[in-house]
Amino acid sequence: MTNKKIWEDRYKSKKNIAQYPFDQIISMVMRRFINESDRSLINILDYGCGAGNNFWFLAREGFGAYACDVASSALELTQKRMEEEGIWLDEDRYRLLEGDFLPFPNQFFSAIIDRESLCQSTWPEVQSRVREFHRVLKPGGWYLGMNFSCHHPDIRHGDALGDGDWYNFKEGLFKDQGQRHLFSINEITYIFSEWHIDSVEEMRINSILGGGDETSEYIIAAQKK
């Protein structure tokens, strides 16, 4: 089953849907744009919007918010949530993704936020999609993303395809979630080699007592030169 079909089914079933924005995404956005006098002029793309938890934050804070996802059911949930919150946006704010191409003009966005969506791609797709990010960002625009790293403890449950791509996870977080690319720091520096990398932080959670969730994620802030 393809990743697209997996996520389409997941959002149709409304299972395991994130309701609230992630604190790291909020922090990265507000650190760079909190002093903007007119946030409606700051177009920000939520890449892989899911059910709209981070998109809701962007819209509520008055940014020029745009959502995109490979799953039409995710976009439907996002739009429904906005309307339930009394936030009415034009239809063109919600875009279905097909392939690597982003359906937006050159130099349109001030930032792209990404919470674990780029890592849904194969390594060749990752490189192509980062080139698309570069195209649609204005000079000085930001990629603000979080993606799972190759240090993630659940990597031991998967089968390697090569080039950092993994699949067939027998258990753990990635079970039944299709293929994943788990990034190394060398890959991060490679795909953003034409950018200014402001910061890359690794967030690790290791369970000390009890059976808590464990993770390893790169938090990336890179600016288009």
Instruction: Name the residue with tokens 């920000």.
Output: 44
Comparing C-alpha atoms, which of 94, 31, 24 is closest to residue 59?
94
Average model confidence (pLDDT) across the chain: 96
Cβ(149)–Cβ(182) below 8 Å: yes
Give the model's pLDDT for residue 125.
98
Instruction: Name the residue with tokens 């990265």.
Output: 28
* Residue 180 to residue 140: CA distance in whole angstroms: 29
Cβ(100)–Cβ(132) below 8 Å: yes
Distance of CA 80 to the CA centre of its chain: 20
CA dihedral defined by 167, 168, 171, 177, rounded to 10 degrees?
60
Predicted structure pTM score: 0.97
* Residue 212 to residue 146: CA distance in whole angstroms: 20
Q: What DSSP string runs through 41-108? A: GSEEEEET-TTSHHHHHHHHTT-EEEEEES-HHHHHHHHHHHHHTT----GGGEEE-BTTB-SS-TT-
For residue 129, pLDDT over 80 is answered with yes
pLDDT digit string (tens) for 63-92?
999 999 999 999 999 999 999 999 999 999
> Could you give the percent of the chain with pLDDT greater than 70?
100
pLDDT digit string (tens) for 167-215?
999 999 999 999 999 999 999 999 999 999 999 999 999 988 877 789 9
Cβ(132)–Cβ(104) below 8 Å: no
